[in-house]
Amino acid sequence: MRSSGKRSRGTRTRTIEKVARDASDNAIMNAFNCGLPVTRIRGNDIVKVYPDGSTEFIKRLENSSVTPEKRRYRI
């Protein structure tokens, strides 16, 4: 493991989460700028969101409330 000074595991996790969130936001904006829709989960529904803000319902998820207890990130 590399030494990164006093950075804790929580700080690294928050950094990875921010980088992933920023990359996701960037990909969505790029798709919208090209006129392409983005498929997302909203609540228990999978929807397609278009650049003009309109949405198209795709499917309702039955058991969407399951969240893994641990998340691992490997780079």
Q: What is the overall mean pLDDT for the chain?
A: 85
**Phi and psi angles of residue 73, each rounded to the nearest 5 degrees, phi first:** -120, 130
Q: 2 pLDDT exceeds 60?
A: no
pLDDT single digits (tens) 12-36:
889 999 999 999 999 999 999 999 9
- pTM for the full model? 0.63
- The answer as to whether 21 is a domain residue is yes
- The answer as to whether 74 is a domain residue is no
- For residue 24 the two structure tokens come to 């996701």
Domain count for the chain, please give it.
1
Question: Which residues contact residue 32 at a Cβ distance below 8 angstroms, ignoring those fewer than 6 apart?
Answer: 38, 51
Q: What pLDDT score was predicted for residue 8?
A: 78
Residue (of 20, 23, 27) closest to 49 by Cα position: 27
- The answer as to whether 15 is a domain residue is yes
The residue among 8 and 65 whose pLDDT is bigger is 8
Q: What pLDDT score was predicted for residue 50?
A: 98
- The answer as to whether 69 is a domain residue is no
